[in-house]
Copies of this chain bind each other. A is one copy, B any other.
Amino acid sequence: MREEFQSDLNEISRLLVTMAEAVRAAMRKATSALLHADLKAAESVIERDVEVDKIYSQVEAKVADTIARQAPVAGDLRMVITALHISADLERMGDLAEHVAKTAQRRHPSPAVPAELRPVFQGMAAVADRMAEQIASLLATPDAGKASKLEHTDDEMDNLERKLFAVMLDDDWPYGAETAIDGALLGRFYERYADHAVNVGEHLIYLITGEQTDGLS
């Protein structure tokens, strides 16, 4: 029984790692679509989001199956339920990458992001990518110390978002409302992506230490 349960957990964990890698790849490609007005890249991200949704359903099914067959209690039960929360966060990260891709698609062949905002979006994308890489690695090899560092990385994202708004609200901002609206929404997509990565980290800390952080960002 114990061995079977462990093998169920391993299977769930493998699915979560695959999901994390998929949403990392999605955001990388969406950023490339955004910064290079690359329509093909944008369409590919949009089409492939169903793959993430499919893995999400697989996690759900596997969790339900594990609970039904193994009737886990206490820490074991907590583990499988936490996997459910993690997969929901990952699923949402995939959606946010899709939102970035859709913005690139909508503005194509114009770039959705003007030259003045490119550096800040490059920065946001780099932070998002680092966070996604970290959670993929943490899901494969849980480590509470490393998981707690995700929140510091998220501070960088928040700083970049403030910088983004500062550029758009500067008196010299030469663009109109449309570019500002796109910029604000895109900024929010990256920032929410990072928030969900932090949530994944918090779920992992809870799994490892049993301690609930404030969470739910």
The 6 closest A-B pairs by CB, nearest first: A177-B180, A181-B184, A71-B71, A68-B73, A180-B180, A168-B177
Which residues of B have CB within 8 Å of A216? 53, 56, 91, 95
Q: Does A81 contact B (CB under 8 A)?
A: yes
Residue in B64, B71, B81, B181 whose CB lies within 8 Å of A180: B181
This chain: how many copies in the complex? 2
A61, chain B: closest CB distance, angstroms: 11
CA of A56 to CA of B74 in the docked complex: distance in angstroms? 19
Q: Which of A63, A71, A165, A181 neighbours the largest number of chain B CB atoms within 10 Å of its CB?
A: A181
For A66-87 the 0/1 string (1 means CB < 8 A from B) is 0110010110011001001100
Beta-carbon nearest neighbor of A70 in chain B: B71
Residue in B56, B84, B169 whose CB lies within 8 Å of A84: B84
CA of A88 to CA of B73 in the docked complex: distance in angstroms? 22
Beta-carbon nearest neighbor of A89 in chain B: B88
State whether A81 touches B53 (Cβ < 8 A). no
Which residues of B have CB within 8 Å of A53? 216
Residue in B68, B77, B165 whose CB lies within 8 Å of A181: B165
Residues 166-197 (chain A) with a chain B CB within 8 angstroms: 168-169, 173, 175-178, 180-181, 183-185, 188
Residues 149-170 (chain A) with a chain B CB within 8 angstroms: 165, 168-169
